[in-house]
Structure 1
């Protein structure tokens, strides 16, 4: 890890601690993290940065559990099982914290392109792209008027509806590493279409990540399609 990467990790840890401090006293934060309250006070107020090992523990350990708890508190399900995750996907500052936690938890290698589906996946995709210094590409259900060449992926769903996604062919170059992300994975149908687009572009799959997994059908389906890491921040039955 070079100096820039160490500094980034330390700043990410501070961001996680500041989020946790919003709803906790320093004593409660100390109990949660196992770190002294005085040290936490200095980190949160910007007087000093945590050491690299402490920062890693916060981001990879406490950070993931805390973000998962925060996400679960914001998600709503209606009587038919539909998910309202607007409290998450509309909060870019929260998603910016998710990116490093996801990257470390899944041990993701740096991708060249973050690929998602319009529209709810775009804010998460933007956070992941910013963290990795990668490009963001998003597939749409309609073609852009001024674009001539597209990669197209089509699938007939169990309901009988045919779903098609289009991505401008110039969005992904041959041999680039592509990380597929989305806000939600349930059946895995959208992720399968995105993986197919990446493979049509002769790209290498870096992984598949979702904020929320509902059941395990979707993640299992993705794992059947790629040997790359597959995971979600939080899972619901």
Structure 2
């Protein structure tokens, strides 16, 4: 692991502790993360940073115990079938935490491009690509000027009869790329299928798929062919 990534993980671990400390005393926080109160005080107040192994354990514990609950509360998906991600996508801490998890899942696949669809997927793709050391690219629903033309998605494999096509400038994706496809919410999977169709035209490798929220149906559909992961399972619309 390079020094920059190690530093990011240490800072992220401190941010996790700060979020926990908002609702806990140092004694309660000490019991939750199994670390002395004095050590936690020094981390939170910026006197020292945790070592690599301790930083990773703090982040992983936070993800395991708190992540799903926070994302569910911030998206209102417990109270409504509508999943609202604007609050999540506007919080640097949550995006960094999600990107840490994606890096843990897909770094061994060595993606060179992180592909998404406008608009809501862009903040996630940018942060994930930054964490992975890749480049973020996104397809649009409107064809715009391009140096070498566009790849246009096809709907041949979609379960829906009609889907708005997506356009991606040809200069952004090459055959030797390894692509991680991401989005904030995946329900029926139509948008993901359209992005897959673009990758198939390029004949590049799809190394994985990720979404913050995903239905069980979409997961089962894509997991037959791709390495796929999500953070929160949601019901079908």
TM-score normalised over the length of structure 2: 0.87
1:177 aligns to 2:178 (yes or no): yes
CA spacing shift, 1:47–1:219, aligned 2, 3 Å = same
Match of 2:139 in 1: 139
Q: CA RMSD in A?
A: 2.3
Q: CA deviation at 1:147?
A: 4.6
Q: By percentage of residues, which structure has more strand?
A: 1
Contact 2:180 2:208 (8 Å CA) reproduced: yes
Q: CA deviation at 1:113?
A: 1.0
> Which moves more between the two structures, 92-101 or 46-55?
92-101
Q: CA deviation at 1:220?
A: 1.4
Distance 2:3 2:95 in 1: 24
Contact 2:112 2:135 (8 Å CA) reproduced: yes
Give structure 2 stretches of 5+ with no counterpart: none
CA spacing shift, 1:96–1:2, aligned 2, 3 Å = closer
- Name segments (4+ residues, structure 1) moved above 6 Å: none
- Once the two structures are superposed, the pairs formed by residues 55-134 of structure 1 within 5 Å of their partners are 55-77=55-77, 81-104=81-104, 106-109=105-108, 110-134=110-134
> Which moves more between the two structures, 156-165 or 183-192?
156-165
Q: Residues 147-200 of structure 1, C-alpha deviation per residue, up to 9 Å, x if partnerless?
A: 541111122755533331111111112211211110001112211221222232
Give structure 1 stretches of 5+ with no counterpart: none
- Number of aligned residues: 233
Match of 1:193 in 2: 194
CA spacing shift, 1:4–1:93, aligned 2, 3 Å = closer
1:165 aligns to 2:152 (yes or no): no
SS at match of 2:50: coil
Match of 1:231 in 2: 229
